[in-house]
Amino acid sequence: MSNLRKLGTIGSLGLLVSSTLLFGSANAAMAATCRTGVATPTSTLTGTVVAATNFERNTLSPFVASTSGNGTAAVTSPTAHSGTCSARLIATADPGSVARMSVSLASGTKRANADAWVNIRTPGLAGNNVPFVRFFSGSTRIVDVFRNNSNGQLWLRITNPNGTFSYLKLRPSSVSLSTWHRVQMQVRANGSTSTVQVWFDGASVLSRSVSLGATSLSKVQFGAEHPRQMGESYIDDVVVKRATS
């Protein structure tokens, strides 16, 4: 934890930008044309499989989508890492815009991991970020990895036991937009002796002990849970696993 810096909340939303200019109509119908027979994704990370999907069944299941305002979460094509379909999340700077999808973890989950390919197509406002993946304990987001909109850098954010945030830069170079990146993240919630591991495009970028105000995990999420966290992301070949130790 010595290298973690408490920076407070990064930035502010700034001026609203018309979602029509950036994204077109976020609520436009998108007919997905998926391809059957594509192999179900696998992961070398250990645990019991909670979700493993490439969205080629033209459904977000077992993920559950939650949207509000003009946010959208749906299966789309042809942008995909494998096959022809992927999940697409769009949130705008308009008031109330939210787009996310999540999968719940069974009671007693102490360790969980996510292995996914993510393509951030459009960033949000400077001073904000676009999430790659987030882990929750109850209603509290306890740890997540995101792309900073100001400089494109990859960061880890931890919610400390006192409710403040700590940040750690995972890689100094900018994460390219409109490119598929593999994000693998494992979290073990054990209070002051919790651990977090992150791999990005196959390379280990973090493995250390951290202090979390949680001893169990309840949800893995893609997308942001609060409004006006603007961005457009595609997610594909997702595997989520859990363990009780």
Q: Could you read off the pLDDT of 195-239 as tens digits, one per residue?
A: 999 999 999 999 999 999 999 999 999 999 988 789 999 999 999
Flag whether the pTM goes above 0.75. Answer: yes
Is 86 part of a structural domain of the chain?
Answer: yes
* Measured distance CA(96)–CA(34) in Å, rounded: 31
Whether residue 5 is predicted with pLDDT greater than 80 in this model: the reply is: no
Count of the separate structural domains present in the chain: 1
Question: Would you give the end-to-end CA distance of the chain in angstroms?
Answer: 22
Is 187 part of a structural domain of the chain?
Answer: yes
* Measured distance CA(78)–CA(33) in Å, rounded: 7
Contact 200, 170 (CB under 8 A): yes
Q: Strand, helix or coil at 152?
A: coil
Q: For 234-245, give one letter per residue: b (16+ CB within 10 A) or e.
A: bbbbbbbbbbee
Q: How far is CA 101 from CA 38, 53, 54, 131, 235, in A?
A: 22, 13, 14, 12, 10
Is 21 part of a structural domain of the chain?
Answer: no
Alpha helices in 25-75 (DSSP H): none
Is 30 part of a structural domain of the chain?
Answer: no
Contact 236, 117 (CB under 8 A): yes
Q: Which amino acid is at 63?
A: F
CATH code of 204's domain: 2.60.120.200
Question: What order do you get walking across the sheet with 98-104 strand by strand?
Answer: 64-68, 98-104, 219-224, 129-137, 140-148, 154-159, 165-171
Is 35 part of a structural domain of the chain?
Answer: no
pLDDT single digits (tens) 190-199 = 999 999 999 9
Is 10 part of a structural domain of the chain?
Answer: no
* Measured distance CA(108)–CA(208) in Å, rounded: 22
pLDDT single digits (tens) 168-184 = 999 999 999 999 999 99
The domain of 110 spans 47-243
Contact 127, 149 (CB under 8 A): yes
pLDDT single digits (tens) 22-58 = 343 333 345 799 998 999 999 999 999 999 999 999 9
